[in-house]
Amino acid sequence: MSAFSRKLNLPPLYSILDPDQTRGRSSPEVLHQLLDGGVRLLQLRAKSLTSREFLRLAVEARELTRLANCRLVINDRLDVALACGADGVHLGQEDLPLQGARKLVREKIIGISTHDVAQARQAERDGADYIGFGPMFGTQTKDTGYAARGVTMLAEIRQAVKLPIVAIGGITEANAREVWQAGADSVAIISDILSASEIAIKVERILSLYPAS
């Protein structure tokens, strides 16, 4: 188990900024709105950008998130995470193995995408700091190759591991509360937020739905 996994506290919203989903708005503009709305953990995903473009955006995102006291996680690209000084990296099942990544980033957060109990338990054994779990519902944002998991399987994952869980896939303002109540520590929402005309207000509304402890 990693040094982070016992103490990593995730905010209720795990925001993902993907330049392909911003509806023509610039990534810095959208990022400002996300932070203004109260986002305190942001993943930067940029699969269509060149490495140079991704790094440039990551460096800018690092500067803005640091000012807002928001943690920054880079999707897939460990090299970009290291180069921009991000707080961590999120890896999929087909990316660099977690144990190899940990040798390179001992003091950074590492999250792992999982889709079933076996993968979740393996991520915990290997020392992940948190797991992503999904797709929760049908989603057009990313083709994971997996059918929708639903809240019943999320509850099973919650019982199987002690790691913080970020639920992802088809989550919206309308169903976020249901996902939190099923055991997610945080919900990752992409299209429902990035398609909003007033992103900051959308973020504020979603955060206001989080059940009081």
| Residues involved in catalysis | 45, 113, 142
**For residue 67, which phi and psi values (nearest 5 degrees)?**
-65, -30
Token pair listed for 202: 């959308």
Closest CA to 135 of 187, 193, 89, 78: 187
Residue 146 to residues 89, 96, 113, Cα–Cα distance (Å) = 22, 20, 12
What is the C-alpha to C-alpha distance for residues 92 and 211, in angstroms, rounded to an integer?
A: 29
- Tokens 């976020």 — which residue? 176
